[in-house]
Amino acid sequence: METSQDRIKSHKMSIMARCLQLLRRSFKRYGYWWLILCVVLALLYLRFNRDLLEYITEKKLHSHPRQSGVTDSATNLHRHITPAETEGKKVNTEVTDSAPNPNRHIAPAGTEGNKVNKVNTVDPNWKNDDSRQQNQTVIDYIGHYLNIEYSHDNMAYEGHNFSVKLKLKNNGLLPITSKDKWSIFFHLIRLVEPTGKIADGYILEHSGFRLKHILGNLFVLSPVDGLFTPLLPGKMMVVELKVNLWQTSRFDVMPNWYVSSPGLQPRYLESTKGESLSFVEAFDSPKKWKRDKYDLFDPYTAEVRYDINKDVKLDSNIAPIFPTPLKMNYFNNTKMAIDGSSWVIVDSEMFSNYVSALSQKLKLRKQKEQPKNKFIVLKKAKLDFARNMSPLIQSEAYTLEISDRTQTIELTSQDMAGMFHGIQSLLRLVTLTDTEDTIVPTISIQDAPRYSYRGLHLDVGRNFKPKQDVLKLLDAMSLMKLNKFHLHLSEDEGWRLEIPGLPELTKVASKRCHDMTETVCLMPQLGSGPVGDTAVNGFYTVDDYKEILNHAAQLFIEVIPEFDMPGHSRAAIKAMEQRSRNVPEHMRDKYLLSEKDDLSKYISVQYYNDNAVNPCIQSTYVFIKHLVREVKLMHENIQRLKTFHFGGDEVPKGAWIKSPACKKLMSEQKMNSSSNLMEYFVRKVVDIVAAEGLNLGAWEDGLSNKNTPYTRSGLNVSDIYAYAWKNVWQYGHAEQAYKLANHGYKVVMAQATHLYFDHPYEPDPEERGYVWATRYISTRKLFGFMPERLYENADISLFGYPIAESEICSKPPCIQLKQPKNIIGMQAAIWGEAIRSPDHMFYMAFPRLFALAERSWHKATWEDEEKGDAKKRNILSDWTKFANRLGQRELLQLDKLGVKYRIPLPGARNIDGRLHVNTALPGLFIEMSTDQGMSWQSAFGKPTVEKNETILLRTRSADKKRFSRTVEFKNGG
């Protein structure tokens, strides 16, 4: 069967044959000079018109999509997905042909219903005529040849607005006009033209475009007839936008812009496609990385980074156990050899699986009887040192005794979790010699965690992460003795777990593509592109989720599923609206989360006006009850579901105020304000989870009304976990964590200034991350976090000015912690807006997660010391040991797992004519290049440097297989 490529090749050969025939005739008539002239002209033509020739040649050969079922290979911007990318998730293979008229409004809820077609098919109204096919060719041409360049200026306006300039250049040989009704869809994380006019469309007279906010971070530019000047070949035009707030990182710009037209297939704007962000102009001046002229932050130079790290010296005396044990004593620094010929491991009924694993790992025989010496034994017993600890912490406690005097190794715990941690510590002590003998130090360890909750939150609602990468993340967490995995499974932008009985949640809401009706998928957000087959789309099947649960259970990590509501619920709302169209009339309202007659107008923090579940309709609670029961069922016989996390954060102001159902409910319940509706919702959810024997989890704002916690006694459930996050020092909400603890809630410390891993490591525009809570979160900053002296953690303001506890606790005085037992742990959070790939996820998580693990397992002695120079010295000493442990030992464990952690950048200074280098984690290898990266050599040894010499520097990973971003060091003399 002849393929599209075969036809293209055949047609090109035909063209070449005709050209050769013409040349032969010309040669016979005019001679050599004519032949030479033809060749020169042909070469010039091909040089300047190669793209157009190829484009036209291939377009002629493609039959109508309905006939051929293939897309244009020259402009086909849909990439194939490898099996590895699709494993463990559903991948959409659909894209809508239906596109919006840019001059109309978004259809209100309940009016969508137009048919949406699959990829490589066409609209039902497609007519087999040349004009329709020609219009698709125009869209293909624009996608292929319209080049976008993005630049911005944070200081273009007074106040917190910045300018964006989009340079649009026609790199093809055909004019681009407005007659084909095309539109450019693009993503910005800030609100464009914050004037109030944007909702209905706003004409940019200087460029002839109409700008409109679709929803979320999706905007559209449409040329206006009579105002838009045709963009001629080789010409450029500039579109200027006024945007709210600021942009401090290149990664604030979202990729995968696209062009579409009503009834046609959308096409990527190829210049914006992919993760390179090559269309974004370099952040090479303060007006691009500073919020405004008062912002003190600048990217670190090599010299600044050297000064930050210079007090952290290389130390080869590395503690073998991580996190730091409660108590650890060496016996005369002696070591003991364990050989398989004479040593055995004693079998244990309770710990038989661990015995088998150790037997295989250490190559030891198992036997039932305990010999006099040379044995390893696992014992179940209560531990005296842990008797005053909470039952949860006791279950994770263990002792480890390695004695060369008795030639024995004894591991003792009262529970499986404690034994698991003890075995991890034992294996950390093991050294294999060249002869494969096992060497261990003689040591005594008593260990238990500081907190019973030591967790990581992962947002897969916004951008999906494949199952295999979640399993790898769990493995890495286990190395650090973390025990809670908070899985954020729903958001405005996506629903990620199959729920039996509600297929629309994943059929519609798990993927994003260009579908203005949102009956097939949600509209693109966060740089996801116009088709539903990109890696950010997908969901976990029930079997996928059970596999995650199984793996977590084996590692003693509890999975806490979160389904965010009533805010951040757009994906679920749209899915249930679509369900209501698909089922018989008597079932249409059963699971609806929205009210058709609710005319409330609001806009959420992420710029949605339809993302709040209605708490006043009964179907909302039918949905929640079904959801809770199905998720609980998935956990059965694997890992009992203990806590249902309902989110509860950032409900937009103004939601429900014009809801007829809510007006009726408020009258019946004698509520004096719509703000009471949130508490009503929480109490209804409490009743549902309590009936299922579960505890409740929520973000702090889901359990408070205007920062006043709901009365705990009125919420009839055993435990409610409050996740405290809103501690931006200048905003005055840091005390909410202590308020909730004092009111009887179990508080998980998740303060954004130190524990939100969607923020950058450094104040550098080349570092991924948002900056709304703080300008950066380094591993060192997190290491110094003191959860029980919260206000003392205040360090710098959003703009880089020093800030202290005395400033944030002056008027009124900060609330003090009266119920310290209710601070049950710590959690880091990886929010997903700008994290579109697993590599992004691992980069943002590690090595910072090591610091979270250390602080949540081990309370440092300096935490209770009063501020002063002595405390600073003790923190530095502790950090030096920790940083050396990461650089020389722990990162290598991640390398073995295949985790691509962030490699810290090198620092450098010229001291007396010699190059001095360092990095945040001593022990990592730093290399240099003096020939612009052509060759690399060690930067250690203090090599001499010439005046005005430019040196490139980079840090290698612990296994030396990867390297950091390159740093430029300019020696000024």
Work out the end-to-end distance of the chain between its first and last CA atoms, rounded to an integer number of angstroms: 70
Query: CA-to-CA distance for 344 and 478, rounded, in angstroms?
Result: 27
Sorted by sequence, the CB contacts under 8 Å of residue 588 that are 6+ apart come out as: 580, 581
Pairing mode, if any, of strands 490-491 and 494-495?
A: antiparallel
Query: CA-to-CA distance for 345 and 271, rounded, in angstroms?
Result: 62
Which tokens belong to 910? 């010229």
Element (H, E) at 512: none
The 3-state secondary structure of 360-392 reads HHHCCEEECCCCCCCEEEEEECCCHHHCCCCHH
Are 507 and 518 spatial neighbours (Cβ–Cβ below 8 Å)?
Answer: no
- Selecting among 85, 396, 558, 650, the annotated active-site residue is 650
**Residue written as token pair 């600021």:** 246
Greatest C-alpha distance within the chain: 109
Sorted by sequence, the CB contacts under 8 Å of residue 351 that are 6+ apart come out as: 378, 380, 416, 419
How far apart, in Å, are the Cα atoms of 452 and each of 326, 499, 821? 14, 30, 11
3-state SS class at 9 = helix
Query: CA-to-CA distance for 271 and 278, rounded, in angstroms?
Result: 8
Query: CA-to-CA distance for 453 and 746, rounded, in angstroms?
Result: 10
DSSP class per residue in 783-841: HT--TTSGGGG--B-TTS-B--HHHHTSSSPPPPPS-GGGEEEEEEEE--TT--SHHHH
Query: CA-to-CA distance for 508 and 574, rounded, in angstroms?
Result: 8
Are 644 and 694 spatial neighbours (Cβ–Cβ below 8 Å)?
Answer: yes
**Residue written as token pair 């209100």:** 108
User: Known catalytic residue: 692?
Assistant: no
Write the single-letter amino acid at 928: M
Pairing mode, if any, of strands 950-955 and 202-204?
A: unpaired
The dihedral through the CA atoms of 310, 312, 315, 320 has a sign that is negative
Are 48 and 173 spatial neighbours (Cβ–Cβ below 8 Å)?
Answer: no
Residues designated as active site:
650
